[in-house]
Amino acid sequence: MLIIRPIRSSDFEALYQIAEESGHGFTSLPVNEDLLRKKIARVEASFQKQVDKPFDEGYLMVLEDTDTGEVVGTCGLEAAVGMEDAFYHYRLGTEVYYSEQIDVRNEVETLTLCHDYTGAAELCTLFLRSSYRKNNNGRMLSRSRFLFLAQHAQRFGETVIAEMRGESDENGNSPFYDWLQKHFLGIDFVEADYLSGLGQKAFMAEMMPKNAVYVCLLPEEAQKVIGEVHANTRPALNLLQAEGFRCRGYVDIFDGGPTVECNLSDIRSVRESRLLTVNIGNAPESDTNFIISNTQLANYRATSGMLLLTEGSNEVTISPELAAGLLLEQGDEIRILAL
């Protein structure tokens, strides 16, 4: 059985391996032992914390194959970004120039450094090992976060965002970043991305252009990739767009990838998820697959499985094996979402 659960300190080696496998552009998991241990400790504290208002909590979960005990994936949520460290984006805008004298009107696209998403919740750290990218495992891992958001909405910002990885080559070089490196930062993309993942962002405030950047003055290669996603990220973007996420004109400051957003209560899977009461017994056969989670916090568990729902009933029968995997007892509630 594949079970999603909160990460714990004993998962460090698996998380470090995932950080190595994830490659360039996966900013939320830099290959740094000290930072990854601190990340796990922060997550453990967040799952135990009493929260009246979201601040800087992080909820990183792992996908465990219970048959082998192996951690094969991760998915994460940030409660409210930018509360401790600055959270930068470029906002796409337009400046209009008009001269009545010469009868010329021009609209010029601009990029302006901003912190507009401060306080928003974030979907992050989605990774699945290649050998498990089948049988809707990736979809289950990604969408399980919406069940957690639905159940614990008070712990998150009202707006939920996701940063999509932008265009870069196999060596991690970004066409969008090249002009920034040449004229402003002076360090390569991989190093800048790594420092950002470590939370060492002072260089951004010190070295990034303070005024709006005119897109037309960028190299053509850089202009072409603004708002474009990496080929490997396209399926994730399609999934989020189906949930109601849209790009509102914000892009990543390093690779130009789009950031998409949706109000938490408007996310399709949040709206469509249901709470049911559990009856543990011989589960009837069904051909409908659901993502299923318990309603706990520190002992959160989620998986996928076949359920037979009776119209008009708020009860569902599940097998003892599924109940054990989700830490459920007779009469507990589960949250479900059609997979």
331: which 2 tokens?
């009469």
Which of 178, 218, 242, 263 minimizes the C-alpha distance to 92? 218
**At residue 165, what are phi and psi to the nearest 5 degrees?**
-60, 130
Name the DSSP class of 136: T
Position 308: which residue type?
A: L
Strand partners, 6: 61
Task: Mark whether 230 is an active-site residue.
Answer: yes
294: which 2 tokens?
């318990």
CA 286, 287, 291: angle at the middle one, nearest 5?
90
Single out the catalytic residue among 24, 89, 152, 230: 230
Residue with the two structure tokens 């979402």: 337
* DSSP string computed for 6-24: E--GGGHHHHHHHHHHH-T
Task: Determine which helix (DSSP H) or strand (DSSP E) holds 40, and give its type and residue range.
Answer: helix 33-48
Give the contacts of 86 (CB within 8 A, at least 6 positions apart): 115, 201, 204, 205
| Nearest-angstrom CA–CA distance, 75 and 64 | 12
**Which residues form the catalytic set?**
230
